[in-house]
Chain A
Amino acid sequence: MESRKRTFIPIAVLALALIQSTSGEPAAAAAPVEYHIASQPLAQALNAWAQQSGLQLIWPAVDDVARTRSRALYGRYQPMQALTLLLQDSGLRYSVLKEGTVTLSDSSADGPTAVPVNGSRR
């Protein structure tokens, strides 16, 4: 009779070797995404945006901005449209690096690759 030692059966390996090193996300996809972002500290809300968009995001931690309360965002938006809504009145603007990573900077400062965001400031 067969031994029944192996009671714990690994049922799948998600072998990361399959994905190896990807060279960044594809450029920000325009397809709309269903967002579920509660009102929370802005840095966490933006991380949720990046997760739900499947995009990469990085920006320097600036305490007072990162910890302001974000708006809630529920519904279907194109990623950059959603980001624009989240950044409204934050004093931050976004730019997109060559490999598709989104980065944020102070909108009062000059950034060489910055993309102006329409209507994000009043």
Chain B
Amino acid sequence: MDSREKETLSVAEQAAEWLLIMETPTDRERAAFWKWLSASPLHVREVLLAAKTRQRLRAFDASHQLELETLIASARSHISQIGEPAVPPSRTRRMRWAYAAAACLAVLMVAAASYLTISDARHTYSTELGQQLVLELDDGSVVYLNTDSRMKVRFSDQARDVYLNAGQALFEVKHDRSRPFRVHTATSIVEAVGTQFDVRVVGNRTLVSVVEGVVRVLKPQMDAVTVDMPAPRLAAGEVASVDADGQFERKSKVDVAAIAAWKQQRLIFNEETLGWIADEFNRYNAAPRLKVEGDALRSRRFNGVFNAHSPESLVEYLQQDPSLEFERKEGEIVIRAVTSASVEQP
């Protein structure tokens, strides 16, 4: 076996071990797993490869309502049938059956994906709050669908059309000159041939960020466009916003690494308001919801990086400020200034 094969094998081993650990992870292990997963495309690919192979087995009925807890429980029972005692595994190397466990979990993940996303034959995919989805389209392009998003895919011989009805998605587009790849939202069409870019629907605006290559941003009525039609172009690191009136606004250059950070469930803030930051956490977490009261407080700006699932870390930081008070209600943390003037009456 050549060295490249060896390298792949060792990543496969790691993938298997991680899936095993992620059955009953500690907070530290969860964080470490996601860090590992996002460290290299090879890591993701390894998981995808296993999933793809096993998918052909069709061992699971996609129409069943598969709860994640059930899936994990089922994975455990499968593992014990393979010959492992039913006690929780220690964190030592058990490669032989770790492979089986990984494959098994991969199948379960695919089954869950099917249930979550294949709601009809028109290729509609959606995610619930706090979920993300990675899918490979039949042209080899890869789509990362972020939390609380809805997307429809329609490919033809002339074009590859994707309709992002809600939420956010990152596209790694396979090059195909004969079939432009277009992402449609209510306010714009983003067209690429082969590149990597992010589209997000925020209220009635569309935000487009380019990681790699160039995209053209077209208006919806320009659907039947030709290649030479004039349209604003965005290059790597550029971000633009298109509002409901079709108003195109180019923003300053951003760090390319920051655009795709949500794939690692990381939130990156560059001079963002506390109101926006709280809303970002709320995109990923059903509880606790963060509610920032008062315009003055909502418009305070911060820089920083958080795990999307650690709203409590933001609260912990803000609690250092003696001028703020915090009220914990059912599934919600209200943050407001202490001064009596800014306390809103119920």
Interface residues of A (CB under 8 A from B): 5-26, 40, 43-44, 46-48, 50-51, 54-61, 63, 66, 97-99, 101, 103, 112-113
Contact = CB atoms under 8 A, between A and B. Distances in A.
A103 to B, nearest CB: 6
Contacts of B314: 58
Contact of B313 (A15, A17, A24, A46): A24
Contacts of B116: 10, 13
B202 interface: no
Contacts of B34: 19
Interface stretch (B164-172, B185-193, B302-310): B302-310
Closest 5 CB pairs of A and B: A58-B304, A50-B305, A61-B301, A10-B113, A13-B113
Binding site secondary structure of chain B: mixed
Given A13-B112, A13-B113, A14-B133, A25 B307 contact: yes
Given A10-B133, A10-B134, A51-B257, 14 more contacts: A9-B136, A11-B113, A13-B109, A15-B68, A16-B265, A21-B309, A21-B312, A47-B258, A47-B270, A51-B268, A58-B305, A59-B304, A66-B303, A97-B317
Q: Give the interface centre of A9, A26, A44, A112 by most chain B CB atoms within 10 Å.
A: A9
B106 A12 contact: yes
Interface of B: 22, 25, 27-28, 30-31, 33-35, 37, 47-48, 51-52, 55, 68, 106, 109-110, 112-114, 116-118, 121, 123, 125, 130-138, 147, 153, 155, 255, 257-258, 261, 265-266, 268-272, 284-285, 287, 300-307, 309-314, 316-317, 320
Nearest to B270: A43
A73 to B, nearest CB: 14
B312 A15 contact: no
A23 B109 contact: no
